């Protein structure tokens, strides 16, 4: 079986299965004190190294507790960092792997969206991309067996992303996950100001974010403009930056976690 092997294991997160499982469970355990909320249909989560964004991502993934058995498909969208991409790319491979094991792809769904406007098949777009990969160990830990629909989003009209999300929306068996950090390399106080404004715009379903506000802006905008999203409530679960978690405060990266239910 053709499998996309992990590209950033040992860099963004531990490369050994036992240590990775321990770290993910520890992050989720630390987030257990968060107030419980309604079962989410969609999440927006950050994608930096776990030491930086892991605590924020864990706060969102904890919201899946209690509905694990209901979810058997995850539609995961994240920005292209490694290749220039016009539109969206789905892979040719049949599975994605992390040190915790292999995740089968939903090949039927991928085939169904491959001919949609703005969608191409490209293993190259996925091969080194970390924005999707870093979400997988959290999903593997929180969920039972599930199929994955991974989509790398490059420069793309929000309406095309929205149409893809609507086509894959499904029912309670499908979870939508958008991978995105917020501002990049601003001083701590400036980042808090910018990210606070971005957070308010996401809560208002303002689907006109720019890359300076969120590196996953194209994917977030598509979610916020999707037809199904209009019936959901968006909740800010956590909002921090690398200066709060593990980094220097002179230049920080912003991280937000949102649940849509």
Question: What's the pLDDT tens digit per position in 11-70?
Answer: 999 999 999 999 999 999 999 887 778 999 999 999 999 999 999 999 999 999 999 999
Query: What CATH code would you report for 23-179+196-205+224-241?
Result: 3.40.830.10
Q: What is the pTM of this model?
A: 0.97
pLDDT for 1 equals: 55
Q: For residues 84-120, b (16+ Cβ closer than 10 Å) or e, as one string?
A: ebebbbbbebebbbbbbeebebbeebbeebeeeebbe
Q: How is residue 58 written in tokens? A: 């864990």
pLDDT (tens digit per residue) in 147-159: 999 999 999 999 9
Q: Where are the domains of the chain?
A: 23-179+196-205+224-241
Q: How many residues belong to the chain?
A: 261
Residues of the chain with pLDDT under 50: none
């Amino acid at each position: 079986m053709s499998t996309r092997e992990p590209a950033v294991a040992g860099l963004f997160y531990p490369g050994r299965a036992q240590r990775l499982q321990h770290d993910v469970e520890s992050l989720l355990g630390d987030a257990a004190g968060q107030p419980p909320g309604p079962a989410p249909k969609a999440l927006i989560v950050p994608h930096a190294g776990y030491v930086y964004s892991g605590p924020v991502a864990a706060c969102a993934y904890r919201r899946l507790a209690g509905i694990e058995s209901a979810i058997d498909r995850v539609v995961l969208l994240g920005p292209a960092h490694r290749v220039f991409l016009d539109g969206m790319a789905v892979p040719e491979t049949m599975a994605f792997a992390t040190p915790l094991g292999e995740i089968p792809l939903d090949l039927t769904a991928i085939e169904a969206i491959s001919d949609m406007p703005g969608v191409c098949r490209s293993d190259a777009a996925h091969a080194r991309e970390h924005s999707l990969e870093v979400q997988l160990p959290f999903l593997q830990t929180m969920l039972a067996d599930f199929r994955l629909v991974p989509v790398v989003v490059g420069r793309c009209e929000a309406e095309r992303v929205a149409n893809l999300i609507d086509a894959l929306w499904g029912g309670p068996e499908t979870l939508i996950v958008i991978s995105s950090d917020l501002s990049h390399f601003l001083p701590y106080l400036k980042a808090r100001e910018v990210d606070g404004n971005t957070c308010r715009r996401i809560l208002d379903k303002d689907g006109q974010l720019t890359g300076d506000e969120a590196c996953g802006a194209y994917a977030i905008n598509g979610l916020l403009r999707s037809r199904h999203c209009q019936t959901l409530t968006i909740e800010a679960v956590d909002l921090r930056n690398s200066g709060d978690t593990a980094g220097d405060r002179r230049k920080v990266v912003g991280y937000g976690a949102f649940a849509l239910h």
